[in-house]
């Protein structure tokens, strides 16, 4: 521990603590742009400059460790003048079309400019036209709005282990790009959107699907169905000023109806359906000698990562489609037949916390007879934009329920949105099947938590199941490397492409760098998810009466002929792409 002063306040901290972190502990806020907790602290932007009171030297606080006897000034005239000059230089080369930018009012650069009182730019840069990459089905990259903070590069490399983007060229020509100047569509990008979540400006955004959804809503021949994922209900409220981790399930449903949806179904229903298929598939592999460990396939970012970097594990992937695709497939077959609807006139809009779903819905395997399982995918942010465009007062909406019958679900389905949730949901059903009992203890806390990799051994009906959970594809890679090297063996693995799982997916509400220091976003949204699970009367997927009815009237049995045709899929070796 070392003792030091910041703005006259005496404090102590561990010697590896940065001045930025120490200041935050004292309630002193220092502006940042390139810094992002646990991801990027390279001192590149110089916005977090502070002054050494003894020497007058200016240093970047995010990369400056505290030292014994240090005296730091965070808001001296010298500091403020330097920060303003740095910010003006950044703005001189920036596309300042703020009013038409998706990140208007959620842009950290814009917020800082307002905070520091920037009313004019003293330096007008050359502002050459830079790369705009719109070819990816999921992500748009506009380098005219990039400030070279490198947060996206760090997220792609450190959190995801993908390295689809990096710094290119030198001097004034420096920009973020993909290898050999290629589009994100032509490299091993997994479409996860963690680069978007990390970006402080509008340089990275999701591919906008709102126009096609509005068109469908205004087409009298289209029967429009909205289907939100489990993680949407614990995040959407943040877009309208609600605290992080607020559940607003009923308001979400009401908002979708007011937008014009003919029906609002819950993807939680298909999460229960996924457990029936996936749980049965696991039991079949355990009993019949199938490829083990079986690895979950709910996360399209993870699936594409596996296809690109670990194709030798493709046989280990569960053949189950994601709940999103299962929901669409059942809607356009079973529901269409029951209600006399032509599947080609049904327009399914999925609302996902995930930008990788925009790629998933256009995979050739995800549809049949000339139509897709899901027609359009909105992120949480896109849905919020539509709600605002329609002048809907979200916060004051009355709560409404999902439509029957593809809207009924259990607590096991809700927790799909958080890391460890798919594993826990599967265990609740598999345990009952193996024991032949309705077990009362349904909470498998060993698979919960936000560690990057979790391992557990669970005794189910006298059988020891070795389990592992990873979130963030860099952690998944570390886990698979252990298996490749023969250092670990498992029966069942859950992988979520995004850190924390879907609750912090690439399509969720943007959380700025300062808030990330103040709030554990993963934990807050996860708690809301588990709270909803506990509030449910039924907490096991196989007890969902609508799921039982679906098998009795239509599918026959889990992993049967029809369910394989509609609910299972195949994968592609992309290692040479």
User: Cβ(536)–Cβ(272) under 8 Å?
Assistant: no
- 124's torsion region: left (phi>0), alpha (psi -120 to 50) or beta? beta
Q: Indicate the helix (H) or strand (E) that contains 494.
A: strand 492-496
Active site residue: 206, 238, 277, 281, which one? 281
Q: In this structure, are residues 66 and 15 in contact, taking their beta carbons and an 8 Å threshold?
A: yes
Residue 519 Cα to chain centre, angstroms: 17
385 Cβ contact partners less than 8 Å away, ≥ 6 residues apart: 102, 210
Exposure string for 25-57, b = 16+ CB within 10 A, e = fewer? eeebebbbbbbbbebbbebbbbbbbbbbbeeee
Query: Which pLDDT does position 129 carry in this prediction?
Result: 86
Calculate the alpha carbon distances from 425 to 303, 331, 340, 380 in Å: 20, 23, 33, 24
- Name, in order, each residue with C-beta under 8 angstroms of 294's C-beta and a sequence gap of 6 or more: 281, 282, 285, 316, 317, 318, 491, 492, 493
Using CA atoms, how far apart are residues 208 and 507, in angstroms rounded to an integer? 11
CA distance 27 to 36: 18
In the residue annotation, 71 being an active-site residue is answered as no
C-beta separation of 311 from 575 below 8 A: yes
- Rounded to an integer, what distance in angstroms lies between the CA atom of residue 67 and that of residue 56? 16
Strands 175-177 and 9-13: unpaired
* Backbone Cα Rg of the chain: 25
Q: Is the dihedral of CA 327, 328, 334, 338 positive or negative?
A: positive
Concerning whether 299 is annotated as a catalytic residue, the answer is: no
Q: Indicate if 25 belongs to the active site.
A: no
Which of 444, 436, 496, 438 shows the shortest CA–CA distance to 462? 436
Distance between CA 297 and CA 274 in Å, rounded?
10
Residues 6+ apart with CB under 8 A from 453: 468, 469, 470, 475, 478, 479
pLDDT of residue 273: 96
Could you say which of 21, 277, 278, 307 is catalytic? 278
CA–chain centroid gap for 572, Å, is 23
352 secondary structure, DSSP code: E
User: Under DSSP, is residue 472 helix (H, G, I), strand (E, B) or coil?
Assistant: coil
Decide if 498 is catalytic: no
Residue 68 annotated to the active site: no
Q: What is the pLDDT of residue 575?
A: 94
As a whole number of angstroms, the distance between CA 358 and CA 137 comes to 6
Mean pLDDT per 10-residue segment, the chain (577 residues): 96 94 95 95 94 97 96 97 95 92 96 94 81 96 96 97 95 92 96 98 98 98 97 97 97 98 96 95 92 96 98 98 97 96 97 98 94 97 98 98 88 92 90 85 83 88 89 97 96 96 97 95 95 92 94 96 97 90
Which one from 365, 400, 443, 455 is the annotated catalytic residue?
365
Instruction: Answer yes or no: 199 catalytic.
Output: no
At residue 47, the pLDDT reads 96
Rounded to an integer, what distance in angstroms lies between the CA atom of residue 223 and that of residue 343? 9
Residues of 232-266 as b/e, b for ≥16 C-beta within 10 angstroms?
Answer: bbbbbbbbbebebbbbbbebbbbbbebbebebbbb
* 189 in catalytic set: no
CB atoms within 10 A of CB 398: 7
Given 51, 206, 238, 360, the catalytic residue = 360
Q: What is the 3-state secondary structure (H, E, C) of 118-178?
A: CCCCCCCCCCCCCCEECCCCCEEEEHHHCCCCCHHHHHHHHHCCCCCCEEECCHHHCEEEC
Instruction: Supply the DSSP symbol for 558.
Output: T
- Collapse the DSSP code of 547 into the 3-class scheme (helix H, G, I; strand E, B; otherwise coil) and give the result: helix
Helix 473-484 and helix 300-309, axial crossing angle in degrees, nearest 10: 40
pLDDT recorded at residue 445? 81
Task: Determine which one of 34, 62, 156, 298 is catalytic.
Answer: 298
Side-chain-side CA neighbours of residue 122 (13 Å): 8
Beta strands in 7-150 (DSSP E): 9-13, 49-52, 58-60, 71-73, 132-133, 139-142
Q: How far apart are CA 79 and CA 133, in angstroms?
A: 37
Q: Is 360 a catalytic residue?
A: yes
Q: Are 565 and 330 in contact (CB under 8 A)?
A: no
CB of 467 closer than 8 Å to CB of 491: yes
Q: Which of 145, 357, 454, 522 is catalytic?
A: 357
Are residues 447 and 423 in contact, defined by beta-carbon separation less than 8 angstroms? Answer: yes
For residue 460, count other CB atoms closer than 10 A to its CB. Answer: 16
Using CA atoms, how far residue 385 sits from 210, 337, 549, in Å, is: 8, 33, 37
Cα(361)–Cα(348) distance, integer angstroms: 11
Backbone angles phi, psi at 178, to 5 degrees: -95, 160
Please identify which of the residues 113, 136, 248, 318 carries the catalytic annotation: 318
What is the per-residue pLDDT for 577? 64
Which residues neighbour 408 within 8 Å (Cβ) at sequence distance 6 or greater?
266, 269, 402, 544, 545, 546
**Predicted local distance difference test score (pLDDT) of residue 491:** 95
Sheet holding 132-133, edge to edge: 132-133, 139-142, 204-206
pTM (2 decimals)? 0.95
3-state class of 46 per DSSP?
A: coil
Domains of the chain, earliest start first = 2-91 (3.10.20.740), 128-206 (3.30.70.20), 211-567 (3.40.50.1780)
Closest by Cα among 72, 86, 203, 186 to 137: 186
How many CB atoms are closer than 10 A to CB 317? Answer: 22
Catalytic residue from among 107, 192, 502, 559: 502
């Amino acid at each position: 521990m070392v003792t030091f002063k910041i703005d006259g306040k005496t404090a102590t901290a561990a010697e590896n603590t940065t001045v930025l972190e120490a200041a935050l502990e004292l309630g002193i806020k220092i502006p940042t742009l390139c810094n992002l907790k646990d991801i990027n602290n390279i001192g590149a932007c110089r916005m977090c400059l502070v002054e050494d009171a003894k020497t007058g030297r200016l240093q970047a606080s995010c990369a400056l460790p505290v030292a014994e006897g240090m005296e730091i000034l965070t808001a001296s005239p010298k500091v403020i003048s330097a920060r303003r000059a740095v910010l003006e230089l950044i703005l001189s080369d920036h596309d300042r079309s703020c009013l038409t930018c998706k990140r208007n009012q959620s842009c950290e650069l814009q917020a800082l400019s307002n905070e520091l009182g920037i009313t004019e730019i003293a330096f007008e840069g050359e502002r050459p036209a830079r790369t705009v990459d719109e070819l990816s089905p999921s992500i748009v990259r506009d380098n005219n709005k990039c400030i070279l903070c490198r947060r996206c590069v760090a997220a792609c490399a450190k959190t995801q282990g993908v390295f689809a983007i990096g710094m290119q060229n030198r001097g004034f020509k420096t920009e973020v790009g993909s290898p050999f100047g290629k589009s994100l569509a032509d490299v091993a990008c997994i479409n996860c959107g963690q680069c978007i979540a990390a970006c402080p400006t509008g340089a990275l955004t999701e591919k906008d699907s709102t126009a096609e959804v509005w068109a469908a809503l205004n087409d009298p021949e289209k029967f429009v169905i909205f289907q939100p994922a489990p993680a949407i209900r614990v995040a959407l409220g943040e877009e309208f000023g609600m605290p992080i981790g607020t559940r607003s399930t009923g308001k979400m449903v009401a908002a979708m109806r007011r937008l014009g949806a003919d029906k609002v179904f819950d993807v939680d229903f298909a999460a229960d359906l996924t457990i029936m298929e996936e749980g049965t598939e696991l039991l079949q592999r355990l009993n019949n000698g199938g490829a083990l460990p079986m690895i979950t396939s709910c996360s399209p970012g993870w699936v594409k990562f596996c296809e690109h970097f670990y194709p030798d594990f493709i046989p280990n992937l569960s053949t189950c489609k994601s709940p999103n695709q299962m929901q669409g497939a059942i809607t356009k077959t079973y529901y269409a037949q029951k209600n006399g609807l032509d599947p080609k006139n049904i327009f399914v809009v999925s609302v996902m916390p995930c930008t990788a779903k925009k790629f998933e819905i256009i995979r050739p395997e995800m549809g049949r007879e000339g139509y897709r399982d899901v027609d359009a995918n909105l992120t949480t942010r896109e849905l919020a934009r539509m709600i605002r465009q329609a002048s809907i007062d979200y916060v004051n909406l009355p709560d409404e329920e999902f439509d029957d019958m593809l809207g009924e679900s259990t607590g096991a389905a809700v927790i799909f949105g958080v890391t460890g949730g798919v594993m826990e949901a599967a265990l609740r059903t598999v345990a009952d099947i193996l024991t032949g009992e309705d077990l009362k203890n349904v909470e498998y806390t060993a698979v919960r938590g936000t560690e990057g990799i979790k391992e557990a051994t669970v005794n189910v009906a006298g059988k020891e199941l070795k389990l592992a959970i990873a979130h963030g594809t860099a952690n998944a890679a570390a886990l698979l490397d252990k298996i490749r090297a023969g250092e670990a063996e498992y029966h069942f693995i859950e992988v979520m492409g995004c850190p924390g799982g879907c609750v912090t997916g690439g399509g969720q509400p943007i959380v700025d760098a300062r808030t990330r220091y103040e709030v554990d976003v993963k934990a807050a949204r996860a708690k809301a998810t588990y709270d909803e699970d506990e509030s449910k009367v039924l907490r096991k997927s196989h007890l969902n009466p609508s799921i039982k009815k679906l098998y009795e009237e239509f599918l026959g049995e889990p992993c049967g002929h029809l369910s394989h045709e509609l609910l299972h899929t195949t994968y592609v070796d992309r290692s040479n792409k």
